[in-house]
Amino acid sequence: MMKRSLRSLVVAALILAIGAGLHAPASAQPDLLSRMIALNPGLKSYTASIHADVHMTSFPYLNPILDGTYYHKDPSKDKIVFTSGLPGIAKQFSKIYPRIAGPASWKTVYLVTENPSQGGTTTFKLVPRKHGRIDHIDVVVDDAAATILSMRWNYNDGSGYAELHQTYTKVGNDYLVSAQTGHVEQSIYKADIDSTFASFQLNAPIADSFFADN
């Protein structure tokens, strides 16, 4: 009798455990933005050589080739120093080179809307909290890799737009941009830009003051 009661208790306990498993919430998976923020956890800064081909499709129809060094430091410090090419063009290109706050800063800098995933990608709409020339930025993200595939800056003054498409390479355990293809369509000029990045130096020491004049 005691053995039967014990067996009954064990069976009842198993049924309860199975039932609890069926009704317990599944462990939550990190959302896409959290995964983007967590990408490259050990990488705090890096430098890379940059080679840029600029093809201006409006006057003065120049096609400069620029070479230099790209600098990045978390969370959102970026700078390009060109060492070859037409000095005037290089200086202007450094200023207009598209920049965007890192995903960790998005909710502070922008009102963020995440659209439903389609075909393995998700589009975020970023509306600047501080009113300025940019109306919003559309950012397309690879769902699997949590990397930014493209960005489009939409201006609110009717002057045009700028867009950028990116491909990546893996350096050690980190995913870094290896190539960019961009297009700028503004009232004063139009241009296509192709850039490649190489010779990465990870966690390079870069002082914050280096970005002060950026």
Token pair recorded at residue 168: 């990546």
b/e 161-199 (16+ beta carbons within 10 angstroms → b)? ebbbebebeebeebbbbbebebbbbeeebebebebebee
Overall number of domains in the chain: 1
Cis peptide bond prior to 75, omega within 30° of 0: yes
Global pTM exceeds 0.85: no
Q: Is residue 52 part of a domain?
A: yes
Range(s) of the domain holding residue 139 = 30-211
Q: Is residue 2 part of a domain?
A: no
Q: In whole angstroms, what is the distance from residue 135 CA to residue 155 CA?
A: 5
What confidence score (pLDDT) does residue 23 get?
A: 39
Residue numbers in the chain where pLDDT is lower than 70: 1-29, 85-99, 214
pLDDT in tens, 77-102: 888 888 876 666 666 666 556 567 78
Q: Is residue 45 part of a domain?
A: yes
- Please list the residues that pair with 197 across neighbouring strands: 50
Q: What percent of the chain has pLDDT over 70?
A: 79
